[in-house]
Structure 1
Amino acid sequence: MKITLLTHSFSPEISPPQRRWAVIADELAKLGNEITVVTPRPRGNSVQGATPFINNQRIQVKRYKSMRKSKTMVGKVLKHGVDAVLSLPEALKATRPDVVIATVPALPTLIVGYAVSKIRGVPFVVDLRDAWPDLLRESQVLKWRWLEPMVSHALAYLVKRSDLLVTVTHGLAIKMRLNGVKNVATIANGVETERPEVAIDNEPRTQTLQVLYLGNIGRSQGLETLIQAASILGDKVSVRIVGNGTEKRRLAELADELEANVDFRDPVYGDLVLENYAWADTCIVSLRPDWPSFEHTVPSKLYELLYLDRHITGMVRGEAAGIITAAESGEVVGQSVSALVEYLTNLAANPEKLKTNNHGSNWVKKNGSLRDAAQAYAKLLSDVVIRVGKS
């Protein structure tokens, strides 16, 4: 098959869609498919000198200029519109594909993918990585009240007209079927399991429980609970929050106000990530409790932590909580300050509970391999090409 993939981020950038699609695209290429990736030129977080594919002669990356990210709503809307206009010619320059895939939540990517599929007369596949459009409404990320319904309706309209919708969780697939989407399948997230083993030399444990959160620091994570718990526990815990995001400054101010033992650090990559994992006794995976969409949301970071056999403190529910329990690599905690304080106190007093005994890596190898996901994806794409061709 000839596959056109439209995504707003791709290797060597560091992002959730890149982590998912760099591996899947490579495996699809190994199966004999030809993949054309249409994506913006990388900005910011990139792996310099990285080799994005093991076997890349069947993968062609077409990049287009993109505006810099804006902090204003007007700027963001303008950037998305310009990106959509610039990506369309690149998507149409390639040889006619057998199928077009668009990754979401980037609405312009969805629009361009739908347009290219219609112009080319080929099936349209949507790879839905988050619980959109519900999450758009719950997060109120669009500050203009009139804009959110328009974007939500546009998302729903285009998704319903896809020939195949691929979700990353089963709960989201059920939700989309109830919303009227007919052809839905689930290809979960995961990690690259066919890579050299990574050995993490854990630092010697101290009497102070060392708690790490590493990742995006936004409204979705609800990290206020962790900071408030740290302020109550005092010297019993040392909390390190590594990353960047819209809520970082506000959370740092909260920690100062509460005199919480929290160390905020800038984002890290590569070996520095492993150094933070070596420092930590337990790693936090958190999603705020008051957005219903997080019942069927699984943070992609969870699979990486499991693969590296980190002990996980899961402030999550639904499918994410189920994975932590099934993998036997930590515990799911009630999403309240009192529950977290009680749990961390108990964990500090019983350090034997921090042992994971390789349960996480064993679970991921069986259930979270992106190579296996690509094999399943190839079958879905072949089926949709045949089905649409017959119709």
Structure 2
Amino acid sequence: MHILFLTDNFPPEVNAPASRTFEHCREWVEAGHRVTVITCAPNFPAGKLFEGYRNRVFGRETTAGIEVVRVWSYIAANEGFLRRSLDYMSFMVSAIPAGLVVGRPDVVIATSPQFFAACAGYFVSRLHRVPFIFELRDLWPESIRAVGAIKRPSLLSALEKLELFLYRKATMIVAVTHSFKRKLAARGIDPAKLHVVTNGADLRLFRQAPKDEELAQKLGLRGKFVAGYIGTHGLAHALETLLETARLLREEGREDIHLLFLGDGAAKASLCRRARDMGLSNVTFLDPVPRAQVARYWSLLDASVIHLRRNELFTTVIPSKLFESMAMGVPVLLGVRGEAAELVEREEAGLVFEPENAVHLRDRLVELAADDVLASTLGGNGTRAAVKYDRRRLASHMLRLVEGCVSGETAVREVPAGP
């Protein structure tokens, strides 16, 4: 089977969509299928080309047996709605002709969060007359409304009409949370074509490991209780809450608790300035590292802080970093309500705190730092639970969904992980 996958994020980018797509496609190639990925030149999130790449009209490479086609796009940093929209739309325009010259696929898959890639996927599937699968990673444009990136109701309405059009035209929709599936069904999308394959972790890369003492020494973290945020520093993450928690800890003389931030994003520059203005000596910001090195930084953490704004939309999401934290045996401090909180509490892999509540997060950090037995228990529970979210297992399940879609079968059993 020839699977054509459209995504505007792919390694060497290290965000969640890039990792999920690569790890799924790698497993499908190992299962004996031909996989072609159409993407753009790597530049996320800073909007700068990665070293060794050019923003060409058309280029080919092979990664882990995956045929990768990179097309031209308007490159912009992950900030500013207009420029990002031009980025998304230019990829759509470039991806459609590229989809016609890579050989006829048996199925076309396109992934969100933004759905201009899905638009391209739909058109390519129609031109090839093959099924179209929409992988739904985010309820876009609802998430744009949640962070206030668009304020014009007419524009949001137009985007929502396009969103519903794609949902209805998709042969199958694979959502990353059960909440997404329920939301789409409530909006009138045929439940028979809605399936769930959650995010997970590559257990070959992320697994429990002793603290990297050499790295801890280099970063000045030896002897500290390190609470880390690893991932995109975006508008949705409200990381100002973590800085306020650091201020509270410093004022209380608890500088033995240190906050480590690893990653980049639209909010990072302002967060760094704010931390400097607040004089936070108990906070360290680090630039992104290649994915193969991320596990070294996870090993430094005594707790993982995962946080999103206090918004109803975010009760439907499960941040992918949650699964990496569990796989590494790092207890989670989760500031996300809804399905993610239910998962953490069900697996007993961490403690939940109220989103955007710096005092509550401070209390949770102090509690965990004072109780080695609790921290060890939560971390061990996470490691055991992570087996259910092994990326290989999830990729295999999605492959069965894809095969069923191509063959015309609709009754494919859901992966048992999750509610």
**Same-fold status (TM-score > 0.5):** yes
Q: Which moved more, 1:88-97 or 1:321-330?
A: 321-330
Q: What is the identity, as a one-letter code, of the residue corresponding to 1:296? A: T
Q: 1:153-192, aligned counterparts within 5 Å?
A: 153-182=161-190, 183-192=193-202
Q: Give the one of 200, 203, 216 matched to 1:193.
A: 203
SS at match of 2:98: helix
Q: Give the one of 146, 149, 156 matched to 1:148.
A: 156
Q: Give the one of 223, 228, 233 matched to 2:249.
A: 233
Deviation at 1:214, TM superposition (A): 1.9
CA offsets 1:262-287 (integer angstroms, 9 cap, x no match):
23332233575344334332111111
Q: 1:126-137, aligned counterparts within 5 Å?
A: 126-137=134-145
The aligned residue for residue 262 of structure 1 is: 283
Deviation at 1:188, TM superposition (A): 0.8
Q: 1:22-171, aligned counterparts within 5 Å?
A: 22-43=22-43, 52-53=63-64, 56=65, 59-70=66-77, 71-142=79-150, 146-171=154-179
The aligned residue for residue 19 of structure 1 is: 19
CA 1:323/1:160 → structure 2, altered by over 3 Å: closer, same or farther? same
Q: Which runs of 5+ in 2 are unaligned?
A: 53-60, 411-419
Q: What is the identity, as a one-letter code, of the residue corresponding to 1:368? A: Y
Q: Please state if 1:307 is matched with 2:314.
A: no
For 1:152 and 1:23, the matched residues in 2 are separated by: 30
The answer to whether the 8 Å contact 2:15/2:231 transfers is no
SS at match of 1:358: helix
Q: Which moved more, 1:346-355 or 1:108-117?
A: 346-355
The answer to whether the 8 Å contact 2:209/2:299 transfers is no
Q: Give the one of 376, 398, 410 matched to 1:355.
A: 376
The answer to whether the 8 Å contact 2:74/2:90 transfers is yes
Q: What is the identity, as a one-letter code, of the residue corresponding to 2:344? A: I
The aligned residue for residue 58 of structure 2 is: none
Q: Give the one of 316, 319, 340 matched to 1:320.
A: 340
For 2:101 and 2:62, the matched residues in 1 are separated by: 25
For 2:81 and 2:360, the matched residues in 1 are separated by: 37
Q: Which moved more, 1:302-311 or 1:238-247?
A: 238-247
Deviation at 1:298, TM superposition (A): 0.7
For 1:195 and 1:78, the matched residues in 2 are separated by: 35
CA 1:76/1:334 → structure 2, altered by over 3 Å: closer, same or farther? closer
For 2:394 and 2:235, the matched residues in 1 are separated by: 30
The answer to whether the 8 Å contact 2:206/2:295 transfers is no
Deviation at 1:374, TM superposition (A): 1.9
Deviation at 1:198, TM superposition (A): 6.3
Deviation at 1:333, TM superposition (A): 1.7
For 1:35 and 1:63, the matched residues in 2 are separated by: 14
Q: Which moved more, 1:127-136 or 1:164-173?
A: 127-136
SS at match of 1:92: coil
Deviation at 1:359, TM superposition (A): 2.5
For 1:42 and 1:256, the matched residues in 2 are separated by: 30
CA 1:238/1:190 → structure 2, altered by over 3 Å: closer, same or farther? same
For 2:360 and 2:351, the matched residues in 1 are separated by: 12
Q: Which moved more, 1:355-364 or 1:225-234?
A: 355-364
SS at match of 2:24: helix
The aligned residue for residue 236 of structure 2 is: 220
CA offsets 1:119-169 (integer angstroms, 9 cap, x no match):
111111100011333223222223655432222221121112111110001
The answer to whether the 8 Å contact 1:123/1:388 transfers is no
CA 1:224/1:73 → structure 2, altered by over 3 Å: closer, same or farther? closer
The aligned residue for residue 244 of structure 1 is: 264
The answer to whether the 8 Å contact 2:229/2:305 transfers is yes
TM-score relative to the length of structure 1: 0.88
For 1:64 and 1:34, the matched residues in 2 are separated by: 20
Deviation at 1:11, TM superposition (A): 2.8
The aligned residue for residue 318 of structure 2 is: 298
The aligned residue for residue 309 of structure 2 is: 288
Deviation at 1:79, TM superposition (A): 2.6
Q: Give the one of 342, 349, 352 matched to 1:329.
A: 349
The answer to whether the 8 Å contact 1:6/1:38 transfers is yes
Q: What is the identity, as a one-letter code, of the residue corresponding to 1:190? A: G
CA 1:316/1:196 → structure 2, altered by over 3 Å: closer, same or farther? closer
For 1:229 and 1:210, the matched residues in 2 are separated by: 13
Q: Please state if 1:6 is matched with 2:6.
A: yes
The answer to whether the 8 Å contact 1:14/1:45 transfers is no
For 1:246 and 1:143, the matched residues in 2 are separated by: 18
Deviation at 1:224, TM superposition (A): 2.1
Q: What is the identity, as a one-letter code, of the residue corresponding to 2:76? A: K
Deviation at 1:304, TM superposition (A): 1.0
CA 1:134/1:191 → structure 2, altered by over 3 Å: closer, same or farther? same
Percent identity, please.
29
The aligned residue for residue 389 of structure 2 is: 368
SS at match of 1:25: helix
Deviation at 1:227, TM superposition (A): 1.6
The answer to whether the 8 Å contact 1:160/1:180 transfers is no
Q: What is the identity, as a one-letter code, of the residue corresponding to 1:307? A: A
- Aligned-residue CA RMSD (Å): 2.8
Deviation at 1:253, TM superposition (A): 3.8
